[in-house]
Amino acid sequence: MPAREDITYWGAGPALMPTDVLQKAAAALINYNDTGLGIAEHSHRSQHATDIINEAKADLASYLSVPTDKYEILFMQAGGSGEFSAVVYNLVGAWVQKKKAAGASDSDLQKAVLSLKCDYIVTGGWSEKSYKEAGRLLGEEHANLVADSRKSSSTGKFGSITPESDWSLTSEAAYVYYCDNETVDGVEFPAFPESLKPKADGSGPIVVADMSSNILSRPIPVENYGIIFFGAQKNFGIAGITVAIVRKDLIPQPPPALMRKLGLPIPPIMLQYDSIAKNNSLYNTLSIFDVYIAGQVLKKLLSTYPNKVAGQAEVSDKKAGIIYSALEAHPDVYKIVPAQNVRSRMNICFRVTKGADVDAAEKAFLKESTALGLTGLKGHRSVGGIRASAYNSVPLAGAEKLAAFINDFAKS
Distance in angstroms (rounded) separating the CA atoms of residues 44 and 378 = 38
Give dist(CA 102, CA 94) in Å, integer.
12
Given 10, 95, 126, 185, which residue is catalytic?
A: 126
Distance from CA of residue 25 to its chain's centroid? 23
Q: Residue 37 in contact with residue 288, Cβ under 8 Å?
A: no
CA atoms within 13 A on the CB side of 261: 14
Residue 47's contacts (CB-CB under 8 Å, 6 or more residues apart) are none
Q: Which member of 234, 274, 319, 378 is catalytic? A: 234
β 227-231/207-210 pair status: parallel
CA distance 385 to 403: 17
Please tell me which residue in 119, 210, 274, 290 is annotated as part of the active site.
Answer: 210
Whether 126 is a known active-site residue: answer: yes
Question: Partners of 242 in the beta sheet?
Answer: 76, 231
Strand pairing report for 374-375 and 8-9: parallel
Give the contacts of 135 (CB within 8 A, at least 6 positions apart). Answer: 142, 143
Say if strands 187-188 and 207-210 run parallel, antiparallel, or are unpaired.
unpaired
d(CA 281, CA 398): 36
Known catalytic membership, residue 408: no
How would you class 14 by CB atoms within 10 Å of its CB: exposed for 0-12, middle for 13-18, buried for 19 or more?
middle
Q: Angle at Cα 132 formed by Cα 224 and Cα 338, nearest 5°?
A: 65
Whether 95 sits among the annotated catalytic residues: the reply is: no
Active site residues: 126, 210, 234
